[in-house]
A and B are shown apart, each in its own frame.
Chain A
Amino acid sequence: DAKTTQPTSMDCAEGRAANLPCNHSTISGNEYVYWYRQIHSQGPQYIIHGLKNNETNEMASLIITEDRKSSTLILPHATLRDTAVYYCIVRGGLGDYKLSFGAGTTVTVRA
């Protein structure tokens, strides 16, 4: 699976949009980009995933560049409860379900 690079940490203001970048320059054509987050002492929570097109759900939006070498997770209106470690993971194609967790980005939402 392709390796991802994320900033170690970032702060954002409550009520503002949080934009979390992820670099995956070695991604293959059939690999998906998945985002999870882990709030302290809890299991990871699925946020969103995509292959080529931008995706949006009730939690976030995922913007994938046309060359698929990077993506951005957008939390539209950050709240204090969004403080967590966010993991960007590149996963294999259909049937290849293993996830490799890196260090992620520690996001702190401040009032």
Chain B
Amino acid sequence: GAVVSQHPSWVICKSGTSVKIECRSLDFQATTMFWYRQFPKQSLMLMATSNEGSKATYEQGVEKDKFLINHASLTLSTLTVTSAHPEDSSFYICSAITQDTQYFGPGTRLTVL
């Protein structure tokens, strides 16, 4: 149990465009989800906490107007990278909480050309 999916698995986009990444909890409902970013050879960095029905809470240094998070249902949170630039290229990973534990999605590889 406790399966989290992400879509897409990878995406390539042109600089200046926006990209939406979906995170779904498949076999449980999640009031809280998290979004992380991981650059090559680095560890995961928490970007924001997504709460169903309310505004996301962003970590210090993360631009909330650039990384739009929507958590409209108990099984779906979305991360939209607006006006993406090459420096936004990274591995984006979401997680969801059930039974007091975070379970992670498989990640989305974003490449901005």
Chain A residues with CB under 8 Å of chain B are: 34, 36, 38, 41-46, 49, 87, 94, 97-104
Contact partner, A49, options B45, B49, B101, Cβ 8 Å: B101
Does B107 contact A41, Cβ atoms closer than 8 Å? yes
A interface SS class: loop
When distances are taken between beta carbons in the complex, the residues of chain A under 8 Å from B4 are: 43
The answer to whether A43 and B93 have CB atoms under 8 Å apart is: yes
CB distance from A73 to the nearest CB of B (A): 16
Say whether B101 contacts A101, CB under 8 Å: no
Q: Any chain A CB within 8 A of the CB of B100?
A: yes
Within 8 A of A (CB), among B50-103: 91, 93, 95, 97, 100-103
Contact A43 B46 (CB under 8 A): no
Q: How many A-B residue pairs have CB under 8 A?
A: 48
Which one of B6, B43, B46, B49 lies within 8 Å of A104 (CB-CB)? Answer: B43
- Across the interface, name the chain B residue whose C-beta is closest to A102: B43
User: Which of the residues B2, B100, B106 comes within 8 Å of A43, measured between beta carbons?
Assistant: B106
Give complex CA distance A102, B46 in Å: 12
A46 to B49, Cβ gap below 8 A? no
Determine the residue in chain B with the shortest Cβ distance to A32: B100
Q: Which residues of A contact B45 (CB under 8 A)?
A: 101
What is the chain B residue whose CB lies nearest that of A49?
A: B101
B93 pairs with A101, CB closer than 8 A:
no
A43 lies within 8 A of B101 (CB) = no
Q: Does B11 contact A (CB under 8 A)?
A: no
Contact, CB under 8 Å: B102 / A99: yes
- When chains A and B are docked, how far (Å) is the Cα of A49 from the Cα of B27? 21
> In the complex, A12→B78 CA distance in Å?
39
Knowing A97-B97, A98-B49 are in contact, say whether A45-B104 is a contact too (CB < 8 A).
yes
